[in-house]
C-alpha cells in the first residue's frame, strides 16, 4: 500500500469521517434489446405504454427503437439502486406483451442492416437531433454494432470528502479543481486496472455468427450458428465489438480535465475526410449532424467517462468545463445473462471497493508507453483472459494475470474493510472473496459459465440467450408490482407522453437553425 493511500485510509477511518462513505451515490443504466419469442429483433415501435423515450427519465431507448435503456436514480444504498432497476424491469414486462428482453450483451440474430430500426423521438428539434445523430452513427459504424448492449455503472464520492482530503494534503487548488483532478486520477487508475473487471465480470465469450455480416475475423466456430474464442471474457469489449478508424487517433489524455475536454472539443470541430465526402444531407434529408471526427462528444466510445449532470440545453463538455467532474460512468460492464437485471449486489459492492481504490491510491500521469500498455492489457484479457498462464505487461515486465489479479485484490481489501466499517456488516469483504474465487478458478467466471451452459445443453449462442431471456421473463412476470408502484409508473408514462407533445407544440425555430446553434455552442467555448 502506498503512503498516500495509507494516510487517506486513516483519515477516512476516523470516527467523525467514517459516515461519509455511506453517502457515495450509485446509479445504473441497463440496455437490452426487445426480441420476439423466436429470438428475433422486435420490429415494433417503442411501446407507447412505457411512455415517451424522449422525456421519460427512467425508460428510454439507446440506439435502436428496439434497444431499451432502463435508468435508475442515483442512490446512496446500492441495494436500493438494484431494487429500483428490478422495479423498472417488472413494469416493462407488464407492457411488453409477447416480447422478451434479451439476456445478453451481444445481440440476437439480427435482420438485414437496413431493417434494424433507428430510435425515433418525435418531431421536436431535440427529438430530431437525437434521430439524425443516430442516422450518423449508422452511416459511420453500421447499425449492427449499435445493437450491442451493456451496463453503465455511475459512481460518485460525497462532495464533502474532497475538501477533507484537500486540506489534509495542503493542496492549493480550489475545492472544485481538486475534486475534478481527483476524479481524473481515478480514471487513470481505472485505465491501469480495468482489465481485472473484464476477467471477473466479462460474460460475452461467444456471439451469433450472423453478427459479423461475413467480415473477416479470428474467431472460432463453436457450431453452425455460433462464433467464439475459447478463453475470451468479453468479445463485446474487443476490437470486434467496436471499431472506428476516425476515432483511432483520438485518445483523450487523462492528465487533467482541461486536456480531456480539449481533445473532445477538437474532435467535434475537426472535419474527417470520409465523412466530408458523404456530407450532411442526402436527397435533401439530414444523414449526419456534421462531417467531423465526432458529431457530438458522446460519440467518443470509452470504458469510463468523467460526468456532470447537465442543465437543459447544455452539452456534456460545457457542464464539465463550467462546474467540474461530479461522478464517473463505468461503461465496460457486460450484462450477466444469468441475472435477471444483468447485475447483482455482489458485483456492485466489489465495484464500489474497486472504484474507491482507484480514487484513493496514488495515480501518476500516464506516459505514452504506459497508456498503450493499458490498452493492450485490456484487449488481451477480453480476448483470452482465461488462458492458463496469460501474461500481462506491468512496468515493462511480464506478469501472470493470476498473480497480478491476486495482488490487486489484496490491495483493494483495506478499501472493502473501510466500506464495511462505515456501513456495518461484512458485505464488501464477502464481495471481494467472491472475486478471489474466480481468480483461483477461471471456470467460476461468468464467461466460462456461459460456454459451460451452452455445452451442457448443446445450445447455440442464440438458444442459450433465449432460454435465459425466458427464465428472466418468468421471474419478473411471476411477481407483478404492487398497485401503488404500478400506478406510479403508469403516471410517469402518461406524463412523459404529455411532455413530448408539449415540446412539439411549443417548438420555436426550424431544425436547420437548431443544429447550427447546437454546433456553434461547442465552438464558442473558450479555454
Provide the number of structural domains found in the chain: 1
Residue 370 burial (CB count, 10 A) = 17
Its pTM surpasses 0.85: yes
pLDDT at 59: 98
The pLDDT tens digits for 168-182 are 999 999 999 999 999
Q: CB within 8 A of 305, min separation 6: which ones?
A: 328, 329, 331
Residue 408 burial (CB count, 10 A) = 18
pLDDT at 525: 66
Per cent of the chain over pLDDT 90 is 91
Task: State the distance between the two ends of the chain, measured CA to CA, in whole angstroms.
Answer: 37
Average pLDDT, rounded, for the chain: 95
527 pLDDT band, cuts 50/70/90, is very low
CA 466 to mean position of chain CA atoms:
23
Q: What are 218-227's contacts with CB under 8 Å, separation 24+? A: 222/454, 222/460, 222/461, 223/460, 224/460, 225/109, 225/460, 225/461, 225/462, 226/454, 226/460, 226/461, 226/462
Residue 517 C-alpha cell reads as: 446553434
pLDDT surpassing 70 at residue 244: no
pLDDT at 243: 58
Q: What are 185-188's contacts with CB under 8 Å, separation 24+? A: 185/359, 185/363, 186/328, 186/355, 186/358, 186/359, 186/363, 187/254, 187/304, 187/306, 187/328, 187/358, 188/254, 188/363, 188/364, 188/365, 188/366
- Whole-number Å distance between alpha carbons of 122 and 134: 14
For 185, the domain range is 3-523
100 phi/psi in degrees, rounded to 5: -125, 160
Residue 277 C-alpha cell reads as: 465526402
Helix 345-360 × helix 78-95 angle, to 10°: 130
The pLDDT tens digits for 138-169 are 999 999 999 999 999 999 999 999 999 999 99
The pLDDT tens digits for 366-383 are 987 888 899 999 999 999
pLDDT surpassing 90 at residue 240: no
State the average pLDDT over residues 226-249: 84
State the pairing for strand pair 151-156/25-35: antiparallel
- Exposure string over 456-490, b if 16+ CB within 10 A, otherwise e: eeebbbbbbbbbbbeebbebbeeeebeeeeeeebe
CATH of the domain at 147: 3.30.590.20
State the average pLDDT over residues 472-499: 97
Contact 420, 429 (CB under 8 A): yes
pLDDT at 250: 74
pLDDT at 526: 45
pLDDT surpassing 70 at residue 242: no
Contact 460, 108 (CB under 8 A): no
The pLDDT tens digits for 192-223 are 999 999 999 999 999 999 999 998 899 999 99
Helix 401-423 × helix 427-440 angle, to 10°: 170
Helix 483-505 × helix 78-95 angle, to 10°: 80
Amino acid at each position: 500500500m502506498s503512503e498516500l493511500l495509507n494516510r487517506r485510509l486513516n483519515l477516512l477511518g476516523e470516527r467523525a469521517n467514517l459516515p461519509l462513505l455511506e453517502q457515495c451515490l450509485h446509479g445504473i443504466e441497463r440496455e437490452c434489446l426487445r426480441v420476439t419469442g423466436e429470438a428475433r429483433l422486435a420490429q415494433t415501435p417503442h411501446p407507447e405504454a412505457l411512455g415517451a423515450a424522449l422525456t421519460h427519465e427512467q425508460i428510454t431507448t439507446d440506439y435502436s427503437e428496439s434497444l431499451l435503456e432502463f435508468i435508475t436514480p442515483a442512490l446512496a444504498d446500492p441495494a436500493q439502486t438494484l431494487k429500483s432497476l428490478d422495479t423498472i424491469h417488472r413494469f416493462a414486462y407488464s407492457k411488453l406483451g409477447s416480447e422478451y428482453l434479451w439476456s445478453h450483451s451481444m445481440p440476437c440474430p439480427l435482420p438485414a442492416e437496413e431493417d434494424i430500426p433507428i430510435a425515433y423521438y418525435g418531431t421536436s428539434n431535440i427529438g430530431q437531433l437525437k434521430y439524425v445523430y443516430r442516422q450518423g452513427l449508422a452511416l459511420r459504424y453500421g447499425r449492427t454494432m449499435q445493437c450491442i448492449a451493456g451496463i453503465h455503472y455511475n459512481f460518485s464520492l460525497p462532495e464533502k470528502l474532497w475538501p477533507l482530503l484537500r486540506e489534509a494534503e495542503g493542496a492549493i487548488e480550489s475545492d472544485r479543481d481538486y475534486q475534478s483532478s481527483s476524479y481524473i486520477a481515478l480514471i487513470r487508475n481505472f485505465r491501469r486496472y480495468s482489465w481485472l473487471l473484464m476477467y471477473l465480470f466479462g460474460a460475452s465469450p461467444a456471439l451469433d455468427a450472423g453478427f459479423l455480416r461475413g467480415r473477416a475475423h479470428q474467431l472460432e466456430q463453436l457450431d453452425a450458428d455460433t462464433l467464439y474464442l475459447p478463453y475470451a471474457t468479453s468479445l463485446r469489449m474487443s476490437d470486434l465489438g467496436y471499431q472506428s478508424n476516425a476515432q483511432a487517433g483520438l485518445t483523450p489524455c487523462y492528465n487533467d480535465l482541461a486536456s480531456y475536454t480539449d481533445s473532445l472539443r477538437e474532435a467535434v470541430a475537426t472535419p474527417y475526410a470520409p465523412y466530408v465526402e458523404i456530407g450532411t444531407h442526402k436527397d435533401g434529408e439530414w444523414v449526419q449532424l456534421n462531417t467531423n471526427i465526432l458529431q457530438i462528444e458522446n460519440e467518443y466510445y470509452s470504458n469510463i467517462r468523467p460526468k456532470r449532470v447537465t442543465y437543459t440545453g447544455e452539452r456534456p463538455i460545457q457542464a464539465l468545463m463550467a462546474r467540474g467532474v461530479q461522478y464517473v460512468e463505468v461503461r465496460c460492464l457486460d450484462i450477466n445473462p444469468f441475472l435477471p437485471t444483468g447485475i447483482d449486489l455482489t458485483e456492485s459492492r466489489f465495484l464500489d471497493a474497486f472504484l474507491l481504490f482507484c480514487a484513493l491510491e496514488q495515480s501518476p500521469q500516464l506516459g505514452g508507453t504506459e497508456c498503450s500498455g493499458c490498452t493492450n492489457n485490456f484487449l488481451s484479457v477480453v480476448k483470452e483472459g482465461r488462458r492458463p498462464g496469460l501474461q500481462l505487461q506491468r512496468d515493462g515486465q511480464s506478469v501472470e494475470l493470476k498473480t497480478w489479479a491476486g495482488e490487486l485484490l489484496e490491495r483493494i481489501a483495506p478499501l472493502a474493510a473501510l466500506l464495511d466499517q462505515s456501513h456495518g456488516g461484512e458485505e464488501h469483504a464477502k464481495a471481494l472473496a467472491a472475486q478471489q474465487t474466480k481468480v483461483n478458478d477461471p471456470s467460476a467466471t461468468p464467461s466460462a459459465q456461459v460456454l459451460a451452459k451452452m455445452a451442457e445443453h448443446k445450445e447455440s449462442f442464440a438458444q442459450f440467450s433465449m432460454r435465459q431471456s425466458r427464465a428472466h421473463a418468468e421471474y419478473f412476470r411471476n411477481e407483478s408490482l404492487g398497485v401503488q408502484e404500478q400506478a406510479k409508473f403508469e403516471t410517469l408514462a402518461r406524463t412523459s407522453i404529455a411532455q413530448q407533445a408539449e415540446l412539439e407544440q411549443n417548438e420555436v425555430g426550424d431544425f436547420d437553425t437548431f443544429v447550427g446553434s447546437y454546433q456553434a455552442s461547442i465552438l464558442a467555448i473558450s479555454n
